[in-house]
Chain A
Amino acid sequence: DIVLTQSPALAVSLGQRATISCKTNQNVDYYGNSYMHWYQQKPGQQPKLLIYLASNLASGIPARFSGRGSGTDFTLTIDPVEADDTATYYCQQSRNLLTFGSGTKLEIK
């Protein structure tokens, strides 16, 4: 199984940059694509797709969100953070079946 590791929490000041990391125990690259995706989940809501294939912005997602990485190391960046970005962020791999990271809870100071 592919295991995804995320830090549990992050606190960032309003207007600053938030960088959330996701590390995998196996390479999730395949034929030039990184099968890593990012979701945002606010309390009481379903998850929402932000980024797919490591760096592609999903439809309707503001350009403040960006993703990068390859192989086993990935990051989601929010710059600048807004108060509404308070949420838990999950990475998910689809290289070998599917697994989610444990989530990073983002607090805006």
Chain B
Amino acid sequence: QVQLKETGPGLVQPTQTLSITCTVSGFSLTSYYMQWVRQTPGKGLEWMGFIRSGGSTEYNSEFKSRLSISRDTSKNQVFLKMNSLKTEDTGVYYCARAERRVQVMDAWGQGASVTVSS
């Protein structure tokens, strides 16, 4: 059974760094791309970036300067780190699995809610 679960801090102060972990089961990180997508209040879905099955990464240019995606295949975990947080970064952060050729997201976590506030 394919499962993805995000865990994050809930509350982060402005200018600080956000760290979220996505723990997966039922499939191998070396066979799929792992995506990060966020949804800010009142807005739609926003693709942030992905890590390929081979370990290289791509980022949305909007986040490129402050976003990092990495993984630990031995622990079946994918990590999102984003620095210089602003209040506008408040939202729900999802990890999703994507088949590598088509890049369609066929399994999603339930999302990690993040509030950026002092």
Binding site for B on A (CB under 8 A): 1, 33, 35, 37, 39, 41, 46-49, 52-53, 58-59, 88, 90, 92, 94, 97-103
Q: Are B106 and A49 in contact (CB under 8 A)?
A: yes
Q: Are A47 and B46 CB-contacts (below 8 A) given A97-B58, A97-B60? A: no
Counting chain A CB atoms within 10 Å of each CB, the highest count among B35, B37, B104, B109 belongs to B104
Q: Are B45 and A47 in contact (CB under 8 A)?
A: yes
Q: Are A46 and B111 CB-contacts (below 8 A) given A53-B104, A94-B103? A: yes
Binding site for A on B (CB under 8 A): 35, 37, 44-47, 50, 58, 60-61, 94, 96, 98, 102-106, 108-111
Q: Are B44 and A98 in contact (CB under 8 A)?
A: no
Q: Are A52 and B102 CB-contacts (below 8 A) given A47-B45, A100-B44, A100-B47? A: yes
Tell me the total A-B contact number using a CB cutoff of 8 A.
Answer: 60
User: Which residue of A is nearest B45, CB measured?
Assistant: A100
Q: Are B44 and A88 in contact (CB under 8 A)?
A: yes
User: Which residue of A is nearest B43, CB measured?
Assistant: A102
Question: Shortest distance in angstroms between B91's beta carbon and chain A's nearest beta carbon?
Answer: 13
- CB < 8 Å: which of B44, B50, B104, B109 contacts A90? B44
User: Which residue of B is nearest A93, CB measured?
Assistant: B103
User: Which residue of B is nearest A101, CB measured?
Assistant: B44
Interfacial chain A residues near B109, Cβ < 8 Å? 46
Q: Are B111 and A98 in contact (CB under 8 A)?
A: no
